[in-house]
Structure 1
């Protein structure tokens, strides 16, 4: 409260007809929240409190800005909190700002994409954390599938390197928006590309073992057997190269991000020390509340380190599309080899019989196919060996690290579909059975793991908001006021998008549904900006904000609140600081543990390029 009020309250000055007698109408003599009960019983009359109306009448300045009364307070809050918050925001996994794709609308530019991601991160951290933690869960499941357990393919340690490649590529593809992922023309080539190196084209592991003496079938020609073996080798080589490229494209910078998190933790510790060394200084307590409110930010940065985005999402998407083209070309080449021309659909066969090599990707082929698909009118028939599917339209924008709301559970659906059981005697299913099971899981309800991560994310964000509310609410004047109210509003607004994400219609939301969520996110971001500005400006230091619903303001100095016999601010501040610090500490330990565990899945270097390439496998798709 401005010091201009003190002379009027103490009766040392008469102002506008108000003196030590007439001032009584502005005094508040009722119960004071948070006051020690014994002190309230014996010495309540010594505690000066005035009504909110009295504050407005007696105080000359409506707002007590920090830079007017004490500029060091503003500078201290900026250095201790605002700068670490900015450092953490800069450490979030932004996408590269390439030029807009030719013909793309303005809302699909990289800048707009970055703004949308920022709205999701800051406007609804529980929604962003839900998607990030769920993706980490999927990565953990992918890593678990690479470990040898049981019999057959599952327990074959020599295949672990290839499993690492398959499941890492799968986890990366799950970070892209694929609204039509369940379509056969996309899902079947994907499963073939991932698992053809483990099982034959047409049967699963169990069937192949049961027919070990007669598989391949007796009527299979030597040429077909050779092509089957070549298909296995070629798809494995393409998979290894795809995994290597994605690992090299994975964004580095783990240690700089950890430094930013460390700086925030240092700021948090300093705020706690300052708060308890200057008990009663309300600016210190409110600064601590601000730090606790945004303590979800270092957690989001921590987990985004595990769920890293590629240095170029466009490059990754292009490589995935071309890789699938070549894998599907091998699938067609293997599937239709040896089938009489009269039985092919359509009944066309290239001149000279079956082609000696698959229809490898080239830029001209893809552009010609794109031009044909853009034409109005019937598309000419393709022979079975000729690629008729472009995979670019199936692989959408990068949505990892909570950039976009929605359910992205491709990796988990595939992981739960690969084997026929969970026991030690499990066997890998056939490619077609994996496709059917994956499609069924994608069309079904979201798994319990997703709901669990959603609940954990909401609990963490609301825990921080609740502790910030508790500290501000119990800092005299005790009661619901502007600061505690703004924390409540921010928490409720961030809850909006999270609640919408639970609805069935938001499993794969369209642009209009996302726009509704962005309204909540935008309001939440604006509220947080106001909270941060108020923390170092003192804009909430006015009569209305201090009195608020309590209807009165206290008028004591810091020394008064340092006395535990008057107000027990220690209890509330200590509880808020400890409870607020626990999730950060535990999450830091958990994140480091996960980083060590998951590192083998994505670890790569230029010195560990895949083996010598087969000259028959065209690698022009890497350009």
Structure 2
């Protein structure tokens, strides 16, 4: 994991900011004024170098711009003079509210460095943040539907518990009938009640969060309306594009408020420990159970939070900030399938009125009982019987000569627990693809909106401002691709180890180089992705400040040399009515696209965040 050390990072950031503002002040001392330069050229009657707004040659008296070569020779290569009044107005109106809204992102990690990395990943890759939200919402709906068909008691509560544990490195342990006992025994009903009560099922908004989001939206809308009043005002330092660029932050914050449990990792660990002290395990004597209390480590429980030192846990799974759900979703889905498999086999048997203790007859519940109510007597048995009840039935097993009439339904000698899953969880690729598409749409709708606004601001084409925004979107997408690929490769290595039937120590065995190679590549992608995210975060902040500081207001940037080339490039200095009209239309269209996709993302999350109430019929 990439580690950011507080003091070192702080000193580096301070040095960079000081150097950046020193550069601005130095450039301001040698600044130029393009309007004055253009007026001087018109008064002098320069014969060549004038252009119309489309770049075609024009007499200097009728021109609205000049060629890049003429701009360099007559106006100089320096930037427009830095204006504190312009900078403060644009920064406060377009960037500061978004920076304040970052404080509403969910954290809750064990270490402050993980919270810092969470911010860097979110700002450096909104694509990854949106992906984590979308996959969390899709997984929540999936686990709810997966358990909805099960009729065994506590199935619905288990689905809600599992959905709430997406922010934790879930570990499922089937050894010694631990999982089977948790699912089957009526004595464990208290475990479900304890943990289900702790995990928030309803994600209510706090007043501070709602107020913050509301003020940011109101400030943004008022600022947008004001900017359309006169689009020619400070056109090269206008923050309209910056506002659209950061618009992704609203749906991201709203999305996490909708689906992320408001539980920090310390409280969650204590809650799991407290609940697991209530867990009962079957014994070799029917009807007798035992509890471990505090005499056994948490990783020996049926459901627990995985040990941080485990080689089978992706390093980012331990960081419980919600953005790291991207790393947990695959391992979590496999764990859910293990639990679902136990419930599926138990539900199949209980639907045929087969008791856990196959030597006993099924006892019917009173008529007045609620629908699907199962008496506790039908849910008790020996350790072998409990384990077999959560296992698939096989026709090759030998019948016990002392078996009862229920043997034709459920052979009591089946004692093998289901083996750990060694395949991909069903539907995980489909959910990942859907989450990826949703995340990419949000990223490129907001980033694309900013690019369009600057692209169609004369001089049109790709230039310094639009290039900075394009680079931000590309790096954001690259970080998402690296981090998600890292999680898939790591999970593939775990599945490979499971199929080989070896322990984690097989990583050191040269005979099994394939899992080892996947883990190494996964680690490289993870570290490189975090590094790029940190660079992208700093880069976009510097780019926004540079725009407000006129640092991009030079002959090179204003002439869109990147797009037109040095020989054909030109700088539009005076906007015509046609320029203003086309620019306003582009701004309106781009803004509509960004707002539509942002609200569409919120609607998507709300659609899939809705799950049934945690009750069992």
Tell whether the 8 Å contact from 1:471 to 1:576 is kept in structure 2 after alignment. yes
What is aligned with 1:119?
A: 120
Could you list the runs of 5+ residues in structure 1 that have no partner in the other structure? 14-18, 99-109, 197-230, 339-353, 374-386, 603-623
**Contact 1:182/1:439, CA 8 A, preserved across alignment:** no
Closer, same or farther: CA 516–9 of 1 in aligned 2, 3 Å: closer
Q: Residues of 2 paired with 1:579 and 1:444: CA distance?
A: 34
Aligned partners of 1:175 and 1:408 also within 8 Å: no
Which of the residues 41, 44, 55 maps onto 1:20? 44
Matched, 1:189 2:189: no
**Could you say if the C-alpha distance between residues 440 and 58 of structure 1 is closer, same or farther in structure 2, counting changes exceeding 3 Å?**
same
For 2:78, the equivalent position in structure 1 comes to 62
Find out whether 1:519 has 2:531 as its counterpart.
yes
Shift of 1:335: 4.0
1:233-267 Cα distance to aligned partner (Å, 9 max, x none):
x211111111112239x986544323333233223
The 1:461–1:426 alpha-carbon spacing in structure 2 relative to 1, beyond 3 Å, is farther
User: For residues 80 and 612 of structure 2, what CA distance do their matches in structure 1 show?
Assistant: 52
Structure 1 position 493, deviation (Å) = 0.6
- 1:52 aligns with 68
Among 453, 471, 488, the residue aligned to 2:435: 453
Q: Any conservation in 2 of the 1:77–1:535 contact (CA below 8 Å)?
A: no
Instruction: Note closer, same or farther for the CA distance 1:444–1:297 as it changes in structure 2 (3 Å cut).
Output: same
Give the conservation status (yes or no) of the 8 Å contact 1:136–1:306. Answer: no
Cα RMSD after superposing both structures: 4.2
CA contact 1:275–1:284 (8 Å) conserved in 2: no
Residue of structure 2 equivalent to 1:308: 260
- Determine the C-alpha separation between the residues in 2 that align with 1:85 and 1:519: 23
TM-score using structure 2 length: 0.67
Q: Distance in 1 between matches of 2:180 and 2:249?
A: 37
Structural mapping, 1:126-165, within 5 Å: 126-144=127-145, 153=151, 162-165=154-157
Quote the offset at 1:167 in angstroms: 1.6
Match of 1:358 in 2: 290
Find the residue that maps to 2:479 and give its secondary structure: helix
- 1:429-470: CA deviation from partner (whole Å, max 9, x where unpaired): 953359848724556783311211112111220121112111
Equivalent of 1:337 in 280, 285, 289: 285
Alignment pair present for 1:575 and 2:595: no
Show the counterpart of 2:93: 80
Structure 2: gaps spanning 5 or more residues = 1-27, 309-316, 354-387, 394-416, 493-518
For residues 165-186 of structure 1, the C-alpha deviation after alignment (integer angstroms, 9 at most, x for no partner) is 32221112232135xx466449
Distance in 2, matches of 1:426 and 1:542, equals 76
Per the alignment, residue 414 of structure 2 pairs with: none
Do the aligned residues in 2 keep the contact of 1:28 with 1:50 (CA within 8 Å)? Answer: yes
Deviating more after overlay: 450-459 vs 502-511: 502-511
Once the two structures are overlaid, the 10-residue window that deviates more, 279-288 or 432-441, is: 432-441
CA distance in 2, matches of 1:284, 1:544: 13
1:46 match: secondary structure: coil
Using a 3 Å threshold, how does the CA distance of structure 1 residues 265 and 592 change in structure 2: closer, same or farther?
farther
Describe the SS at the equivalent of 1:586. helix
Aligned equivalents of 1:125, 1:541: Cα separation in 2: 28
1:7–1:177 distance in 2 versus 1, CA, 3 Å: same
Post-superposition offset of 1:113: 0.7
Shift of 1:120: 1.9
Distance in structure 2 (CA, Å) of the matches to 1:146 and 1:502? 29
* Alpha-carbon distance in structure 2 between the residues aligned to 1:410 and 1:296: 28
CA deviation digits over 1:396-448, x for unaligned, max 9? Answer: 6244522364251456553664447999x999995335984872455678331
| Contact 2:241 2:450 survives alignment (8 Å) | yes
Q: Secondary structure at the match of 2:559?
A: helix
Mapped to 2, the partners of 1:313 and 1:113 lie a distance apart of 12
Residue equivalent to 1:246: 199
Match status 1:505 vs 2:489: yes
Secondary structure of the equivalent of 1:358? strand
1:295 is paired with a residue whose SS is coil
Q: 2: distance between equivalents of 1:388 and 1:279?
A: 64
Matched, 1:176 2:158: no
The aligned length equals: 481
Conserved 8 A contact 2:134-2:435: yes
Matches of 2:547 and 2:125 in 1, distance apart?
21
| Distance change (3 Å), C-alpha of 1:598 and 1:256 | farther
In structure 1, C-alpha distance between the alignment counterparts of 2:481 and 2:108, rounded to whole Å: 26
Does residue 554 of the first structure (1) align with residue 571 of the second (2)? yes
Cα distance, 1:284 vs structure 2: 8.1
Q: Alpha-carbon deviation of 1:89?
A: 0.3
Describe how 1:397-416 pairs up with structure 2 within 5 A.
397-399=318-320, 401-403=322-324, 405-409=326-330, 412-413=333-334, 414=336
> 1:363-386 CA distances to partner (integer Å, 9 max, x unpaired)?
xx24xx69xx9xxxxxxxxxxxxx
